Amino acid sequence: MTDELVHLEVAAAIATITLDSEHNRNALSRQLVTELGEHLATAEADDAVRVILVRSAGRVFCSGADLSEAASGGMEQGAQAIVALQRQILAGGTPVVVELGGPVRAGGLGIVGAADVVVAAESVTFALTEVRLALAPAVISLSLLPRLSPRAASDVFLTGRTFDAAEAASLGLVTRTVPDDDLTSAVQSVLDDLAKGYPQGLRETKALLNHDVIERLDALGGDVAAQSTRLFGSDEAREAMTAFLNRKKG
């Protein structure tokens, strides 16, 4: 039996979902995305749960797409799964909080963009590195573009540069940043506040907030998934991904 890469624990009205695939820095492998979606559905269906927390067990929150999988096979199902995952977070009636204690790269920012509240430690760094692999942040643009101004999106999408948590907050990508030592208590404060809400109030307020984003996702999801599949399957991207993986091994 394959070891679980994502864990779910429910206590005191809070469902905690932990990404725990440290061997590949919580890359969005087929297994991790599937398990994350399943645990989100389980938490959403639990009447005792008022808020969902997504966090990571290791040093990295998420390193983006699993390039080993991408380099060895088609990405059609993977692209569609990331679209579906973002929609699941956005359309669910239970608020989703993301705790960032480590860096986030590329596809992992789709989880950040779809979440309702994101609290990041000051040391966390971010980067949308797709252009450096002959790719584009296609499927995650569905949740990220509504969060960012057009100028900010052009900057971080096209340069692929690394930026810090303070800048991420100023761009609208995260809700707030806190000193690293205060991350746990700051997240708990957010969870406590959200848990005071009535399910109907939380559900209906989320629907108001996310209506336009979901509408855009439903209209464009198929197109950007197809774009992502085409780019991952291109010779240029395969060459770039192979070179990147070889550098990691070296």
Amino acid at 83: V
SS (H, E, C) the chain: CCCCCEEEEEECCEEEEEECCHHHCCCECHHHHHHHHHHHHHHHHCCCCCEEEEEECCCCCECCECHHHHHHCCCHHHHHHHHHHHHHHHHCCCCEEEEECCCEEHHHHHHHHHCCEEEEECCCEEECCHHHHCCCCCCCHHHHCCCCCHHHHHHHHHHCCEEEHHHHHHHCCCCEEECHHHHHHHHHHHHHHHHCCCHHHHHHHHHHHHHHHHHHHHHHHHHHHHHHHHHHCCHHHHHHHHHHHHHHHC
So what's the pLDDT on residue 245? 85
In 10 A of CB 17, how many CB atoms? Answer: 24
So what's the pLDDT on residue 29? 94
Interatomic CA distance for residues 206 and 156, integer angstroms: 27
- The residue written with tokens 């998934």 in the block is 225
Q: Where are the domains of the chain?
A: 6-181
So what's the pLDDT on residue 230? 95
Which structure tokens are listed for 138?
A: 């296609």
Interatomic CA distance for residues 240 and 230, integer angstroms: 15
So what's the pLDDT on residue 1? 42
Fold of 6-181: 2-enoyl-CoA Hydratase; Chain A, domain 1 (3.90.226)
Which structure tokens are listed for 147?
A: 């969060």
Strand 117-121 and strand 96-100: the pairing is parallel
So what's the pLDDT on residue 68? 84
Burial class (CB in 10 A: 0-12, 13-18, 19+), 120: buried
Could you list the pLDDT tens digit for every one of the 250 residues in the chain?
A: 469 999 999 999 999 999 999 999 999 999 999 999 999 999 999 999 999 999 999 899 999 999 888 777 668 899 999 999 999 999 999 999 999 999 999 999 999 999 999 999 999 999 999 999 999 999 999 999 999 999 999 999 999 999 999 999 999 999 999 999 999 999 999 999 999 999 999 999 999 999 999 999 999 999 999 999 999 999 999 999 989 888 876 5
